[in-house]
Amino acid sequence: MNPSLLVILSGSAVLAALLTLIIRRSALHKQLLDIPNDRSLHSVPTPRGGGAAIVLVFIAAIIALMAADYVETKNAMILIGCGAIVALTGFLDDRQLLSHARSRLAMHFVAAVIAVSALGGLPTLPVFGTEVSLGVFGGILAAIYLVWLLNLFNFMDGIDGISGAEVVSVCGATAFLIHRTTHDNNLTSLPLALAAATLGFLVFNWPPAKIFMGDVGSGFVGFIIGVFSLIAADSVGSLGWVWVILLGVFIVDATVTLIGRLVRKQKPHVAHRSHAFQHLALRFGSHKPVTIGVVAINVLWLLPIAFAVTEGRIDGFVGVLIAYTPLTIAALMLGAGTPSTN
């Protein structure tokens, strides 16, 4: 790894940890706490909004990477500008200044449409050896994909360490596959920058969490990862499938849960405890085994499948089916989308 890149990444992790500590102390002083209720899985009032550290440090890292010629100016501006819209929306929501779900969703789509338009729409994707381009319809799908990713990270950020661990493990695994496939340090540096910033925050969010990410962070990381996947797919089509495969745990749990709640005519944006990971945490009586389990699935199940896709051993779409089928069965067996009885 280039020394300058190593300095930026290690500095980002340290700075994020320090900034998270500062935000935690400020939140305690101002009593900006997440108070436990009957839908919570934590029992102690905990500071929230720690994801702001990830946002600020990641933006600083992208600026540093751009100055060091690791990131194209266009991609940097998309990540910073559109990411800031999502982060600001989450910040206002955390402060209960933007409580209307439709207003939040509108801001999410504004950021997504700007990002997709600037990137030139949905890249062509290889499907069974054929490059598939969906044109304008693909652009619409890409915008919906970004909005769904940022919201599902918000939905899934329900136990200590789970979102941070997901970001670090998925971004780390993807960076490895991107570098192995393209040997492009510029493309590799993007997920590594987010992983480094999130790692610093995770020091204080690991079970038992001393601070929560909040909407300011969860929506931001989901959106940025979505943009990463579009940028990667534009470089090498199969890398788009890699991101989708490695995000399998979050995508499957959130999607199965959403469908289950809609079938039961429950409002999807109302807080609940019906995700598969929440059912598991209640069964274990602890957050840590579930968070560690998510990382284990990413590394031991999803990474080998994504690797096979980059090697051309299996088609990307087939890889998604292979990855998601047992995850979907597991989510259904765990009761995803059904109310908790605990």
What tens digit of pLDDT does each residue of 237-269 get?
999 999 999 999 999 999 999 999 998 888 777
For residue range 74-90, what is the model confidence (pLDDT) as tens digits?
999 999 999 999 999 99
3-state secondary structure of 46: strand
How much is the pLDDT for 321? 98
Which has the closest alpha carbon to 114: 146, 159, 82, 144? Answer: 82
pTM, full prediction: 0.96
Write down the pLDDT at residue 342.
62
Residue 138: its pLDDT value, please?
96
Task: Tell me what the pLDDT averaged over the chain comes to.
Answer: 94
Q: For residues 98 and 222, which has the higher predicted lDDT (pLDDT)?
A: 222
Q: What is the pLDDT of residues 283-327, one digit of tens each?
A: 998 999 999 999 999 999 999 999 999 999 999 999 999 999 999
The residue ranges of every structural domain in the chain are: 3-243
Q: Does residue 31 surpass a pLDDT of 70?
A: yes
Which pLDDT score, from 0 to 100, does residue 95 have? 85
Confidence grade of residue 100 (pLDDT, cut at 50, 70, 90): confident
pLDDT tens digits, residue range 110-158? 999 999 999 999 999 999 889 999 999 999 999 999 999 999 999 999 8
What is the 8-class DSSP label of residue 298?
I
pLDDT score recorded for residue 265: 83
Confidence class for position 42, pLDDT limits 50, 70, 90: confident
pLDDT for 144:
97
Q: Give the pLDDT band of residue 44 (cuts 50, 70, 90).
A: confident
Tell me: pLDDT of 37 over 80: no
Name beta bridge partners: 47.
33
d(CA 231, CA 236): 9
Rounded (10°) CA dihedral 112, 103, 256, 327: 40
Tokens for 23? 């935000």
Per-residue pLDDT at 41 exceeds 80: no
Measured CA to CA, the distance from residue 212 to residue 209 in angstroms comes to: 7
The string of pLDDT tens digits covering residues 189-214 is 999 999 999 999 999 999 999 999 99
Note the pLDDT of residue 190: 96
Q: What are phi and psi of 125, to 5 degrees?
A: -125, 140
Environment class of residue 122 by beta-carbon count within 10 Å: exposed (0-12), middle (13-18) or buried (19+)? buried
* Least confidently predicted of 41-50, 136-145, 254-263, 330-339: 41-50
Contact by Cβ (8 Å): 49, 233 = no
Distance CA 51, CA 215 (A): 8
Instruction: Report the greatest alpha carbon distance in the chain.
Output: 58
298 contacts: CB under 8 Å, gap ≥ 6: 166, 169, 170, 173, 246, 249
pLDDT at res. 98: 79
The region of weakest confidence among 28-37, 178-187, 196-205 is 28-37
Distance CA 223, CA 112 (A): 8
- Whether the CB-CB separation of 223 and 146 falls below 8 Å is answered with yes
- pLDDT at 38 exceeding the cut of 70: no
**What is the C-alpha to C-alpha distance for residues 258 and 155, in angstroms, rounded to an integer?**
10
On the question of pLDDT at 92 being above 90, the answer is yes
